[in-house]
Amino acid sequence: MIIVITGTRKGIGRYLAEHYLGQGHNVIGCSRDTTTLSHSKYYHYYMDVSDEKDVRKMFFGIKKNFGSIDVLINNAGVASMNHSFLMHIKTIYDIIDTNIVGTFLCSREAAKIMKDKKRGKIINFTSFAVPFKLEGEAVYAASKAAVITLTEVLSKEYAPFGITVNAVAPAATKTDLVKNVPENTMNNLLKRQTIHRYCEFHEIVNVIDFFINNDMITGETVYMGGI
Amino acid sequence: MVEKEKITEVVLGCIADFNVLNGTSIIADINTVLFGMGSELDSIDFVSLIVAIEDKICYEYGVVISLTSEKAMSKKNSPFRTIGTLVDYISELV
């Protein structure tokens, strides 16, 4: 398969890239910074997912070099835990640009390529911050709520082209997004989940594989850990 | 700078390809309506054609453009209304 994953420099994106490379797939990744990931089947673009020109160029390059895309995983995301009184406007735009605009642009450009083969899977990342109405995550949660809506609407727009669009909302996971969140805040969060523990990366892969292997599921969000 | 005649050729070529692929017989000239009243294309055909033109411009001229517009759905001012308006719009972008 040809799998495009955004935000592969670290965290879940990096894990996903290594996982699918390990299975013998071609993986095209991207990030705003340099990557140390090196593999004969890995291709990296340095770009910003919210820059329309960059995104167009990347997907045009993918079409030229690979001819098609089987799976797009919109993993790139940013978060900033802060009371709304203290949230800087630049941070607000950064969250909106990466999480909403980036997901939209990459989905659109991937779907244009997928539609030629009348098949494709788009998997977005949303968050438990949406159903939990997480304090201190107003803009992040709003952006991830938008990702759910994008997932639902795009699933309808792309269904005639044989493309499914779904979203996974991992439970609390040990990534950079939560590294600055105080321990007791995270513990309280784990208590609110139905399953009171951190989510493991391989468990997220299971949900993504479920979407990849299922042609009859679209417009859905899977909340991991129970809400 | 790509000449308008060449862009017109690309657009007409895409419509010819579209006819072959879909068994349609859209007669294409600069006045052919692509969008809104009088168009023979349904919404899925229309977006597919626009994507095909976008692609062809990229391949033929190495210019990565995005055929999107705030006025896309305007009945009066949509750059996608006819082949002629579309060619004018593309020539502004390349």
Q: Is-above-0.80 flag for pTM?
A: yes
ipTM over the 0.90 cut-off: no
Query: How many residues belong to chain A?
Result: 227
* Residues B11, B17: Cα–Cα separation, whole Å: 10
**What SS3 state is found at B82?**
strand
* Residues A144, A77: Cα–Cα separation, whole Å: 9
Q: Which of A52, A112, A160 sits opposite B51 (nearest CB)?
A: A112
Q: Which of A60, A115, A160 sits opposite B64 (nearest CB)?
A: A60
Per residue in B31-80, pLDDT tens? Answer: 999 988 889 899 899 999 999 999 999 888 888 888 887 776 666 778 99
Per residue, the 3-state secondary structure of chain A, as one string, reads: CEEEEECCCCHHHHHHHHHHHHCCCEEEEEECCCCCCCCCCEEEEECCCCCHHHHHHHHHHHHHHHCCCCEEEECCCCCCCCCHHHCCHHHHHHHHHHHHHHHHHHHHHHHHHHHHHCCEEEEEECCCHHHHCCCCCHHHHHHHHHHHHHHHHHHHHHHHHCEEEEEEECCCECCHHHCCCCHHHHHHHHHHCCCCCCECHHHHHHHHHHHHCCCCCCCCEEECCCC
Whether residue A115 and residue B51 make contact (CB cut-off 8 A), yes or no, is yes
From the CA of A36, how many Å to the nearest CA of chain B?
28
* Residues A43, A30: Cα–Cα separation, whole Å: 8
Of the residues A15, A42, A45, A140, which is catalytic?
A140
Q: Which residues of B touch A (CB under 8 A)?
A: 44, 48, 51, 54-55, 58, 64-66
pLDDT at B1: 60
A17-28: b or e for each residue (b if 16 or more CB lie within 10 Å)? bbbbbeeebbbb
**What SS3 state is found at B33?**
strand
pLDDT at A101: 98
Residue pLDDT tens, chain A, 227 long? 999 999 999 999 999 999 999 999 999 999 999 899 999 999 999 999 999 999 999 999 999 999 999 999 999 999 988 899 999 999 999 999 999 999 999 999 999 999 999 999 999 999 999 999 998 999 999 999 999 999 999 999 999 999 999 999 999 998 887 777 788 889 999 999 999 999 999 999 999 999 999 999 999 999 999 98
Tokens of A67: 């001819």
Per residue in A165-217, pLDDT tens? Answer: 999 999 999 888 777 778 888 999 999 999 999 999 999 999 999 999 999 99
**What SS3 state is found at B69?**
coil
Tell me which long-range contacts A114-118 makes (C-beta under 8 A, separation of at least 24). Answer: A114/A68, A114/A69, A114/A70, A114/A72, A114/A158, A114/A161, A114/A162, A114/A163, A115/A158, A115/A161, A115/A162, A115/A163, A115/B48, A115/B51, A116/A68, A117/A68, A117/A162, A118/A161, A118/A162
The domains of chain A, with CATH numbers, are 2-223 (3.40.50.720)
pLDDT at A133: 94
CB contacts < 8 Å between A and B, how many? Answer: 17
Q: Which of B45, B59, B61, B66 to mutate to test the interface with A (most CBs of A within 10 A)?
A: B66
Active site residue A158: no
CB of A139 closer than 8 Å to CB of A87 = yes
* Residues A65, A106: Cα–Cα separation, whole Å: 17
Residue among B57, B55, B56, B46 at smallest CA distance from B22: B46
Q: Which of B17, B51, B53 to mutate to test the interface with A (most CBs of A within 10 A)?
A: B51
From the CA of A161, how many Å to the nearest CA of chain B?
9
